[in-house]
């Protein structure tokens, strides 16, 4: 469990740090002062509870004193990450680096930016403790692996995946990761406006395979408070990624995160089948057209025959429109199971994907918001146990 301490004379900064850490595991303690103790031991004596992981030196402190204290922490307690808030980053960057300060923070940073930095600093602290031979507490075990699938391309699978991840991130900040397993033509990076430094090709080889902390350092942080593991930038790299590697990767991610949203490739290839072997849930996305609906029926039948249908299934009907010439009853009769969520045909939803901002991230008014929120709700704790709740309520096509 992460523990954070902030020393500052700025009450508003202290409040923002406290709010930013509210979605992380652990508590925030604070010392409201415009001066610093002489050494690390004096700091540690005034806090109680779990092991300190991140020390935030906030506004109102003398920069040279903050750097002096950080250098002492680096010598005596290298497993504790120190973060310095400074309005003059250019002037303090070099001495801060020499003092072992983990990150520099803009004093006016918002809660989202602070949360990302705290999580990064916490990861660094855990890695240092592991390197020093200490014990590192793992995250929640057995997170849900949600495979988002479609029988064919062009039905909005990536749009559903990114919105589902962002929606879950609102109640489980920094405990959601989206993995792009459409390895050849994955669009999660562009759909979330990310430029990943590492991709799945890096995550299934080397040290990341053996160490979850190394793997987590390969993930890209998104401003919505989620992580992303993007598809390889070079499609040729997929030749070296096996189904076995994919399965091990998903197991690692499930050990560290509450939710692992997997955007799969269309069809039932090797990597998709490996995902289904580990998935706790599957979200089927299909359009309101005959090829897509028939493809979904065939996919369900094949997976049922080979025993690869996860216990929890969720059917999303995208581009729902009465003018398509089909009815909801036609769709359900063809696929032989109820539709759980309908997403009306929308101009705004594709636009949000094209600009890299999921519609659940900016809350733009759109006819699909209700359906997307219903889909997110299906994965919240206790949803299946709610009294008088039908697990598959009849959807409506407008």
Provide the pLDDT for residue 49. Answer: 62
Does residue 392 lie in a domain region?
no
Give the pair of three-digit tokens for residue 53.
């992981």
Does residue 384 lie in a domain region?
no
Provide the pLDDT for residue 395. Answer: 57
DSSP E strand stretches across the chain: 2-8, 26-32, 54-57, 81-85, 103-105, 144-149, 176-181, 220-222, 226-229, 259-264, 281-287, 312-320, 341-344
Cβ atoms of 229 and 204 within 8 Å: the answer is: no
CA–CA gap between residue 26 and residue 323 (Å, rounded): 52
**CATH code (residue 18):** 3.40.50.2300
For residues 214 and 270, membership in a common domain is answered with yes
Does residue 164 lie in a domain region?
yes
Domain that holds residue 190: 144-377
CA–CA gap between residue 168 and residue 177 (Å, rounded): 10
Does residue 289 lie in a domain region?
yes
CA–CA gap between residue 64 and residue 92 (Å, rounded): 9
Sheet holding 103-105, edge to edge: 26-32, 2-8, 54-57, 81-85, 103-105
Provide the pLDDT for residue 134. Answer: 45
Provide the pLDDT for residue 64. Answer: 92
Query: Which of helix, strand or coil describes residue 196?
Result: coil
Does residue 139 lie in a domain region?
no
What is each CA distance from 326 to 254, 290, 296, 298, 372, in whole angstroms? 39, 9, 15, 19, 22
Sheet holding 226-229, edge to edge: 220-222, 226-229, 176-181, 259-264, 144-149, 281-287, 312-320, 341-344
Q: Which ranges in 1-109 belong to alpha helices (H)?
A: 11-20, 40-45, 63-76, 89-98
For residues 336 and 359, membership in a common domain is answered with yes
For residues 107 and 158, membership in a common domain is answered with no
For residues 59 and 125, membership in a common domain is answered with yes
Structural domains in the chain (count): 2
Q: Taking each helix axis from N to C terminus, what angle separates 290-306 and 328-335, rounded to the nearest 10 degrees?
A: 30
Element (H, E) at 161: helix 157-169
For residues 169 and 285, membership in a common domain is answered with yes
For residues 272 and 188, membership in a common domain is answered with yes
Does residue 386 lie in a domain region?
no
For residues 154 and 263, membership in a common domain is answered with yes
Does residue 391 lie in a domain region?
no
Does residue 388 lie in a domain region?
no
Tens of pLDDT, residue by residue, the chain (398 residues)? 458 999 999 999 999 999 888 867 678 899 999 999 888 988 888 776 667 889 999 999 999 999 999 999 988 898 899 999 998 888 888 888 888 888 888 999 998 888 888 887 887 777 666 555 544 444 334 789 999 999 888 899 999 999 999 999 988 878 899 999 999 888 999 999 999 989 999 999 988 898 887 888 889 888 888 899 999 988 777 888 999 999 999 999 999 899 999 999 998 889 999 999 999 999 999 998 899 999 999 988 998 888 887 878 999 999 888 888 888 898 999 999 899 999 998 888 878 888 889 999 887 788 889 999 999 999 988 777 665 445 554 555 55
Give the pair of three-digit tokens for residue 9.
């004379």
| Residues with Cβ within 8 Å of residue 158, at least 6 apart in sequence | 182, 186, 187, 188, 191, 263, 353
For residues 157 and 213, membership in a common domain is answered with yes
Burial class (CB in 10 A: 0-12, 13-18, 19+), 289: middle
Provide the pLDDT for residue 1. Answer: 44
For residues 126 and 212, membership in a common domain is answered with no
For residues 167 and 274, membership in a common domain is answered with yes
**CATH code (residue 335):** 3.40.50.300
| Residues with Cβ within 8 Å of residue 228, at least 6 apart in sequence | 165, 177, 178, 179, 180, 188, 189, 192, 194, 196, 219, 220, 221, 222
For residues 315 and 293, membership in a common domain is answered with yes
For residues 113 and 241, membership in a common domain is answered with no
| Residues with Cβ within 8 Å of residue 10, at least 6 apart in sequence | 58, 59, 60, 107
């Amino acid at each position: 469990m992460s523990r954070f301490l902030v020393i500052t004379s700025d009450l508003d900064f202290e409040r923002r740090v406290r709010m930013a850490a509210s979605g992380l595991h652990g508590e925030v303690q604070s010392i409201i002062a415009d001066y610093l103790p002489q050494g690390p031991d004096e700091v540690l004596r005034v806090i109680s509870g779990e092991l300190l992981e991140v020390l935030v030196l906030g506004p109102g402190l003398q920069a040279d004193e903050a750097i002096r204290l950080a250098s002492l922490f680096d010598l005596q307690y290298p497993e504790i990450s120190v973060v310095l808030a400074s309005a003059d980053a250019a002037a303090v960057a070099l001495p801060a680096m020499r003092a072992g300060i983990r990150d520099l923070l803009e004093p006016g940073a918002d809660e989202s930016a602070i949360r990302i930095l705290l999580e990064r600093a916490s990861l660094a602290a855990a890695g240092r403790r592991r390197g020093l031979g200490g014990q590192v507490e793992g995250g929640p075990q057995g997170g849900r692996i949600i495979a988002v699938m479609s029988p064919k391309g062009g039905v909005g699978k990536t749009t559903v995946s990114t919105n589902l991840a962002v929606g879950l991130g609102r109640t489980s900040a920094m405990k959601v990761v989206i993995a792009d397993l459409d390895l050849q033509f994955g669009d999660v990076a562009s759909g979330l406006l990310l430029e990943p430094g590492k991709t799945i090709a890096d995550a299934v080889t080397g040290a990341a395979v053996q160490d979850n902390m190394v793997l987590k350092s390969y993930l890209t942080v998104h401003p919505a408070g989620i992580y992303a593991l993007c598809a390889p930038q070079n499609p040729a790299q997929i030749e070296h990624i096996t189904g076995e590697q994919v399965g091990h990767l998903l197991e690692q991610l499930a050990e560290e995160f509450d939710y692992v949203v997997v955007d799969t490739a269309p069809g039932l290839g090797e990597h998709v089948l490996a995902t289904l072997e580990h998935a706790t849930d599957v979200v089927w996305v299909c359009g309101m057209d005959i090829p897509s609906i028939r493809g979904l029926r065939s996919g369900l039948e094949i997976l049922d025959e080979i025993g690869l249908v996860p216990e929890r299934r969720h059917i999303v009907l995208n581009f729902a429109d009465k003018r398509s010439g089909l009815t909801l009853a036609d769709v359900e009769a063809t696929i032989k199971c109820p539709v759980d969520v309908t997403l009306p045909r929308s101009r705004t939803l594709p636009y949000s994907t094209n600009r890299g901002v999921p519609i659940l991230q900016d809350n733009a008014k759109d006819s699909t918001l209700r359906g997307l929120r219903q889909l997110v709700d299906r994965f919240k704790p206790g949803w299946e146990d709610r009294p008088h709740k039908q697990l598959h309520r009849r959807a409506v096509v407008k």
